[in-house]
Amino acid sequence: MRRYAMPFALSAMLVAGTAFAADFGTADEAKAMLDSTVTAMKADTAGTIAKINAGEIKDRDLYPYCGGPDGMVSAHPSEKVRAMSLKELKDKTGKPFGEEIYANAKEGAVSEVAYMWPRPGETEPVEKIAYITKIGDNICGVGYYK
């Protein structure tokens, strides 16, 4: 009986670890969400921004966000973040990632920007990779956490 206790415990830990990993979005899922956001923004910019702001476009810890031409966050599921300037955002290390987002976003192309940001509902920042692009007057991104 004892000789089966360790493999069973190890198996249970592996299953639990797999379920935990499934709670977070992947790089491919973030790219797919950005592609969907681009399509939606081109079809109905105001409606898509309203859906993002209402939290209707999200999947686990993945969500799109956008900044307008003035640098202010125009779309984000958090009202607190919508009151910020995306262009002026810095992470906990002092990296001005908002400037980098605005400098690298190009219409019809997807760029990557890495920065430290807390997962939704958490306060401790972790590495986040955002896929960003420009859609008309908006700079939009979707990031996944490493």
Q: Cα–Cα distances in Å, from 132 out to 37, 59, 137, 138?
A: 11, 17, 13, 11
pLDDT digits (tens, 9 = 90+) for 44-57: 999 999 999 999 99
For the chain, give the mean pLDDT.
89
Contact between residue 91 and residue 97 where contact means Cβ atoms under 8 Å apart: yes
Identify which has the larger pLDDT, 95 or 11.
95
The mean pLDDT of 95-101, rounded to a whole number, is 97
When pLDDT is cut at 50, 70 and 90, the band that residue 121 belongs to is: confident
Domain coordinates in residue numbering, the chain: 24-145
Q: Which CATH number is associated with domain 24-145?
A: 3.30.450.20
- pLDDT given for residue 7 in this prediction: 45
Ordered DSSP codes for 113-133: EEEEEEPTT--SEEEEEEEEE
Kindly tell me if the per-residue pLDDT of 16 is higher than 90: no
